[in-house]
Amino acid sequence: MALTSEESAKLNATLESCASTAELAERLLTSFNNGGVQNPDLAVLESTVEQYADSAVTTHNASAAAHSAMKSDAVNSSSSSTVATSKAVKTAYDLAASKTSQAYTMYVDAANGSDSNDGSSWAKAKKSIMNAYMAYCAMHCQNIYQVMFLHVAAGTYTENANVTLRGEDGLVLELYGDTTIVGGISCAYSQFTARKAAAATAASASLTVTGNCGVDNGTFSLADLSTFTCQSLTVSNNSVATISVPVTLHGNVRVLGGSVLYVNGTMVLDGSEYDSTSSYPVALQVGKGSRVETSQPVIISGHYSMGIKVESKSMFTQGAAVSVNIDYSAGYGLIQASTGLYHRQAGTLSLSGASHYMLNASRSGEILFDGTDSIALDGTTVAVVAAYLFGKVTRGGSAAFTSPNGVTGKRFEISLGGAVQTQSGGLHIFPGSTDGTVDGVVITAAGMGTNGSSYY
């Protein structure tokens, strides 16, 4: 006997809501026994359940077949209708792991090596640093990021060109003794590190670079060396340079474009090589949103136009002694802050020589002296302290300004909205041979000038 329309409706509703044939049978019997449908034909019911089960199996098999057809072992497919298998994921992982950060080691020996060697050991060392680096690049340049550890025997390396790093890679020079590179070092979008090798037995491991060093969009790091010497150093375009060794530069230092220089070793800038025919550079220039932080002394001497210049929303933070001794009467500051901040947090400051101004704050720049360490000012100048165009010189602490050898020039010169704050230090807190002026007038008491300038 066939099912009635009421029984068929009840069965269809139950079929759609069940997840398995076991659940279907149980719910149908419960429904019938509770009087939902009277006197069911059990033979028809059994046949219907079997048909449902067969249909469910067929649907499941079709779905499984379709899902299986969507699987793909490809790791470079651009299809949006396939699904990666575990094999494909594993292959992609292994490929990525092979192309991420890895370390490679080579050896160079200027005295005993040969550029025809593969550089895989001291016995097979290459002769030049750049040849080793280029060989490494040829082997591994397809990888995303690599670090090359180059073990460098003591000696002089005459490179045909600068040691030039480009791309997302890194070079670590492991020095085994005093090393000289005839040429320069250029690092762009890369990382450069020089340090004494852990296995080195030599008492000294110094690095001398006869040319200039520069880092652009990268990092430059020196550690565990006896000394480092080069011509000039440029740190530019969001780079970071960390110098943790004693360093001597026979040129200048420029930190530009949002970069940072950490001076954690004594830094000597010696401009004696510049002569009267040279265009005297600024010894240490910080500009375009950059900053310099010192924890060790900075010593500047020689033929420079300025000692330290901080400009364009930049900052120089003095955390240890600073000494500037230059003779350039046309220079506009042994220290100048123009739209920048020179902040003496700690350490003595010694300025001597000849310059138009010794301390010069202009164009909303500021020179701020915190702490109690003394400030020594000696030499010949138009004015010891200058503040103009809303520049400001501030004695934030209780530091004393001294002149061990005397100063020839005005104590201060303030104009065009400039300001000098002395913490009530009085008109003679700065050394000088004549009294200071505010807006061109010699003042007899702290106060405002005619053009909005002030001394207080």
**What gap in Å lies between CA 124 and CA 127, rounded to an integer?**
10
Q: β-strands 454-455, 83-84: how paired? A: unpaired
Residue 100: is its pLDDT beyond 50? Answer: no
Nearest to 188 by CA among 173, 168, 172, 174: 168
Q: Higher-confidence residue: 331 or 413? A: 413
pLDDT digits (tens, 9 = 90+) for 36-57: 445 455 555 555 555 555 554 4
pLDDT digits (tens, 9 = 90+) for 179-229: 999 999 999 988 999 999 999 999 999 999 999 999 999 999 999 999 999
Please write down the long-range contacts of 162-166, taking CB distance under 8 Å and 24 or more positions apart: 162/186, 162/211, 163/129, 163/130, 163/133, 164/130, 164/188, 165/133, 165/190, 165/191, 165/192, 165/218, 166/190
* pLDDT at residue 329 in the model: 82
Query: CA of 287: how far to CAs of 68, 224, 310, 389, in Å?
Result: 62, 29, 6, 19
Q: β-strands 454-455, 419-421: how paired? A: parallel
CB 179: neighbour CB atoms within 10 A? 23
Mean pLDDT, residues 241-258: 97
Residue 345: is its pLDDT beyond 80? Answer: yes
Which secondary structure element, helix H or strand E, spans residue 261, and what is its range? strand 260-263
Query: CA of 176: how far to CAs of 108, 199, 203, 205, 400, in Å?
Result: 11, 8, 9, 6, 47
Nearest to 253 by CA among 281, 228, 285: 285
Nearest to 337 by CA among 317, 365, 318: 365
pTM above 0.85, yes or no: no
Angle of the 5-17 helix axis to the 42-70 helix axis, nearest 10: 30
**What gap in Å lies between CA 340 and CA 442, rounded to an integer?**
28
pLDDT digits (tens, 9 = 90+) for 261-277: 999 999 999 999 887 66
| pLDDT band for position 454 (cuts 50, 70, 90) | very high
DSSP state of 152: E
> By the 8 A CB rule, do 255 and 274 touch?
no
**What gap in Å lies between CA 373 and CA 346, rounded to an integer?**
7
Percentage of the chain lying above the pLDDT 90 cut: 65
pLDDT digits (tens, 9 = 90+) for 295-330: 999 999 999 999 999 999 999 999 999 999 998 888
Name, in order, each residue with C-beta under 8 angstroms of 234's C-beta and a sequence gap of 6 or more: 212, 213, 214, 215, 216, 253, 254, 256
Q: Tell me whether residue 105 is exposed, middle or buried, using C-beta atoms within 10 angstroms of its C-beta: 0 to 12, 13 to 18, 19 or more.
A: middle
Q: Higher-confidence residue: 131 or 29? A: 131
Domain layout of the chain by residue ranges: 7-53, 98-206, 232-456
**What gap in Å lies between CA 333 and CA 286, rounded to an integer?**
14
Q: How much is the mean pLDDT over the chain? A: 85
**What gap in Å lies between CA 236 and CA 287, rounded to an integer?**
10
